[in-house]
Amino acid sequence: MEVILLQNVPTLGKKNEIKRVADGYALNFLVPKKLACLATSAKKTELAKLQEKVILNKTETLAHLDEIVQKIKTLGKLAFTVKATKTGKLYAAITEEKIAEHLQEKIKASLESKQIILATAIKTTGEHSATIRLNQNKECTLKIVVEAEKTN
């Protein structure tokens, strides 16, 4: 008997896979526990449409991420002007949250602070580097320039 898995089943397969199982296993265990449904032709067609939609969404997402990477590369660097001591030490460190907020304003795209990775906290003026990881496969490097605020 063929069934479509509605959830991941550790010994059988992943969600939305079509599997051939024994009749008793399907009717007495998988279907009553709502782990699977019978694979009728209508359900198979519905599953195919769902999989097409998922593939389309993935390609759109990847295209959007490529666009964000291109905007970041075009931007090149992100400049901050903050209060600092005469020796170049900042009064307040520049955090991933501040970088994400500033970058969102510049490129008009949504980023989360957890997507920005700093090797060390930015606590001095000068040039620093940050890695922006949009997903497991898409990342880019951004130069961050920190300048001291001019005082009168």
Rounded to 5 degrees, what angle do the CA atoms 148, 108, 135 make? 95
Instruction: Give the list of residues 6+ apart from residue 135 with CB closer than 8 angstroms, or none.
Output: 65
**pLDDT tens-digit series, residues 15-72:** 999 999 999 999 999 999 999 999 999 999 999 999 999 999 998 988 888 898 899 8
The backbone torsions φ and ψ at residue 90, rounded to the nearest 5 degrees and listed phi first, read: -80, 145
**pLDDT tens-digit series, residues 77-104:** 999 999 999 898 999 999 999 999 999 9
Terminal CA-CA length for the chain: 82
Domain 64-148: CATH superfamily, name plus number: Ribosomal protein L9, C-terminal domain (3.10.430.100)
Q: Where are the domains of the chain?
A: 2-59, 64-148
Domain 2-59: CATH superfamily, name plus number: Ribosomal protein L9, N-terminal domain (3.40.5.10)
Q: How confident is residue 151, by pLDDT bands cut at 50, 70 and 90?
A: low
Q: How confident is residue 12, by pLDDT bands cut at 50, 70 and 90?
A: very high
